[in-house]
C-alpha cells in the first residue's frame, strides 16, 4: 500500500493552507462563531470556486472526480484552521448519501448544485435520545396518495439553520427507515440553533405535517440504513482527518508557548514534565495520523473499511481530547479563556467526539467485526 501523496495532493494541501490562513484566521473564526449564520457566504463561494465542494464527486455530476484521499487532505486543513462552514454536512455527509443512494436525476441536479456552491444540505437523522443505531430512527412518515407527511423533531442536525435542503430519516410503516429530501426553508420546517460547547451550527429541526412527494425519496423505501451506515463510515474517516488536523496545530501552538513562557526565571519547556507531555501529545497525533492515511487508502482501493473506520474514529476521539487537554494545561489559565486560540480546539475536541459516533459505539462495532471473523 503506497501512502505517499501525489504532487497534486501536495499542491492541494498547500493551496488550502494558504487560503485558510489568509481568509479565515482565528479572529475570523471567533467572529463567525458569534454570528447567527455561523459561516460566511462569501468564503463558501470562494471554496466552491477553488473546487473543494466538487472535489470528490464524479465529473458526470459536476465534480472533479477526485479521490477520497483528496477529501481527507482538505478536511485536515479545515481542522487546522477550524474553518466554520457547512463543508462537512453538505459535501461529506449529504453528498455521500446522494452519491450512494440518489437517483440519476437527483445526483445530476443536487451534486452539481453542491459543487457550484448554490446548495447547502443538512442531515436530519438523530432524535431526542441521540442514538446512532437504526432503532434510534422513530419519526413516522404517514402515507398519502401522492407521497408522505413528516411530523416530529430531529436533533443535532448540522447547519440546518442555513440549509436549503434537508435529508430526513423517517420510518415508513411496513418498510422501515427511509430517506426524504425536503425543503429546509418550507413554512412547516423550523430549524433552531442549539447551544453547544463548540459554538457551531448544531440545530433542532421541527417538522409539522410536511408533505413530501414520492419523487423526493432517496434510495428505496425502507433502504435508509444501509446507505446511512456506509456513508457514515466514510464521514467518520473524514471527521477524524479534521480532528487530527486540529491535533497538529495544538501541538505546534503549545510547543511554541512552552519555549517562550517563563516561570521563576526559566522557560517552562525546560521542565521535564512539560517535555513528557509534548512527546506524548506528538505520539497521540502521529499514530492516529498514520492510520488515517491507511484507512483513507482502503476507501480508494475499494476494500472493506468499516471496521477500520470505527477503530480510527474511536482512537481519534480519545487522542484529540488528550492532546487538547494537555495543551490547555500547559497554557495554564489563559488556555481556558476566549482570549487564547488554544481554547477553540479544546471546545471542538469534545464536540467532535460524538459526531459520526462516540468512542463506545465504535469500540462496539470493532468488537462485532472481530466476533464475526472468529
- Each residue's pLDDT tens digit, 352-364: 999 999 999 999 9
pLDDT digits (tens, 9 = 90+) for 142-160: 999 889 999 999 999 999 9
Confidence of residue 334 (pLDDT cuts 50, 70, 90): confident
pLDDT value, residue 333:
84
**Residue 232 above 80 pLDDT?**
yes
Q: Would you give the DSSP letter of residue 5?
A: P
Q: Which three cell numbers stand for residue 142?
A: 404517514
In this structure, what C-alpha cell is assigned to residue 288?
492516529
The third-level CATH classification (topology) of the domain covering 7-120 is Butyryl-Coa Dehydrogenase, subunit A; domain 1 (1.10.540)
Share of the chain above pLDDT 70, in %: 99
Full-model pTM:
0.95
Task: Report, as an integer, the average pLDDT of 23-49.
Answer: 97
In percent, the amount of the chain with pLDDT more than 90 equals 91
Mean pLDDT of 103-109: 96
pLDDT > 70? residue 56: yes
Nearest-angstrom CA–CA distance, 239 and 305: 15
Rounded CA-CA distance 258/174 in Å is: 61
Over range 159-177, report the average pLDDT. Answer: 97
- The cell numbers describing 62, all together, are 459536476
Over 70: is that where the pLDDT of 230 sits?
yes
Domain 225-373 architecture: Up-down Bundle (1.20)
Q: What is the pLDDT of residues 109-151, one digit of tens each?
A: 999 999 999 999 999 999 998 899 999 999 999 999 889 999 9
Q: Which three cell numbers stand for residue 306?
A: 468499516
Q: Where would I find the H helices in the chain? A: 7-23, 26-33, 41-49, 68-81, 87, 95-101, 104-106, 112-116, 224-260, 272-300, 306-331, 342-354, 359-373
> What is the predicted pLDDT for the residue at 270?
92
CATH 1.10.540.10 intervals, the chain? 7-120
> CATH for 122-221?
2.40.110.10
Mean pLDDT in residue range 74-97 = 98
| Residue 316: predicted pLDDT | 98
Region(s) of the chain under CATH 1.20.140.10: 225-373
Query: How far from the centroid of its chain's Cα atoms is residue 75's Cα?
Result: 8
Q: Give the pLDDT of residue 70.
A: 97
Of 156-160, 223-227, 338-342, the one with minimum mean pLDDT is 338-342
C-alpha 372/C-alpha 374 separation (Å) is 6
State how far the Cα of 24 lies from the Cα of 14, in Å rounded to an integer: 15
What does the pLDDT read at residue 371?
Answer: 83
User: What is the mean predicted confidence (pLDDT) over 193-199?
Assistant: 92
- pLDDT tens for each residue of 291-322: 999 999 999 999 999 999 999 999 999 999 99
Average the pLDDT over 259-279 and give the result: 93
Residue 337 clears pLDDT 90, i.e. is over it: no
Q: Which segments of the chain belong to CATH 2.40.110.10?
A: 122-221
Compute the average pLDDT of residues 74-92: 98
Amino acid at each position: 500500500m503506497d501512502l505517499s501523496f501525489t504532487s497534486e495532493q501536495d499542491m492541494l494541501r498547500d493551496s488550502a493552507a494558504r487560503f485558510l490562513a489568509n481568509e479565515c484566521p482565528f479572529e475570523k473564526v471567533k467572529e463567525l462563531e458569534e454570528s447567527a449564520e455561523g459561516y460566511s457566504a462569501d468564503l463558501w463561494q470562494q471554496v466552491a470556486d477553488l473546487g473543494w465542494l466538487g472535489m470528490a464527486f464524479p465529473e458526470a455530476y459536476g465534480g472533479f472526480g477526485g479521490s477520497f484521499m483528496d477529501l481527507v487532505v482538505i478536511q485536515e486543513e479545515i481542522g487546522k484552521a477550524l474553518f466554520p462552514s457547512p463543508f462537512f454536512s453538505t459535501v461529506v455527509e449529504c453528498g455521500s448519501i446522494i452519491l450512494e443512494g440518489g437517483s440519476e436525476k437527483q445526483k445530476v441536479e443536487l451534486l452539481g448544485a453542491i459543487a457550484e456552491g448554490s446548495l447547502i444540505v443538512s442531515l436530519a437523522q438523530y432524535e431526542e435520545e441521540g442514538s446512532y443505531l437504526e432503532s434510534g430512527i422513530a419519526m413516522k412518515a404517514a402515507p398519502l396518495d401522492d407521497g408522505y407527511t413528516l411530523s416530529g423533531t430531529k436533533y443535532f442536525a448540522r447547519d440546518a439553520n442555513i440549509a436549503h435542503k434537508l435529508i430526513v430519516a423517517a420510518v415508513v410503516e411496513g418498510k422501515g427507515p427511509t430517506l426524504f429530501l425536503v425543503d429546509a426553508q418550507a413554512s412547516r420546517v423550523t430549524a433552531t440553533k442549539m447551544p453547544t460547547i463548540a459554538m457551531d451550527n448544531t440545530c433542532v429541526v421541527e417538522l409539522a405535517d410536511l408533505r413530501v412527494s414520492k419523487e423526493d425519496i432517496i434510495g428505496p423505501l425502507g433502504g435508509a440504513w444501509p446507505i446511512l451506515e456506509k456513508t457514515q463510515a466514510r464521514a467518520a474517516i473524514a471527521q477524524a482527518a479534521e480532528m487530527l488536523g486540529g491535533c497538529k496545530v495544538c501541538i505546534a501552538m503549545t510547543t511554541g508557548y512552552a519555549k517562550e513562557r517563563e516561570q521563576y526565571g526559566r522557560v517552562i519547556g525546560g521542565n521535564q514534565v512539560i517535555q513528557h507531555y509534548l512527546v506524548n501529545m506528538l505520539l497521540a497525533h502521529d499514530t492516529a495520523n498514520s492510520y488515517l492515511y491507511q484507512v483513507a487508502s482502503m476507501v480508494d482501493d475499494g476494500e472493506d473499511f468499516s471496521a477500520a473506520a470505527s477503530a480510527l474514529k474511536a482512537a481519534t476521539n480519545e487522542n484529540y481530547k488528550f492532546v487538547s487537554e494537555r495543551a490547555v494545561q500547559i497554557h495554564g489559565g489563559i488556555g481556558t479563556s476566549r482570549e487564547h486560540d488554544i481554547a477553540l480546539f479544546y471546545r471542538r475536541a469534545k464536540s467532535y467526539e460524538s459526531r459520526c459516533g462516540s468512542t463506545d459505539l465504535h469500540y462496539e462495532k470493532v468488537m462485532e467485526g472481530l466476533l464475526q471473523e472468529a
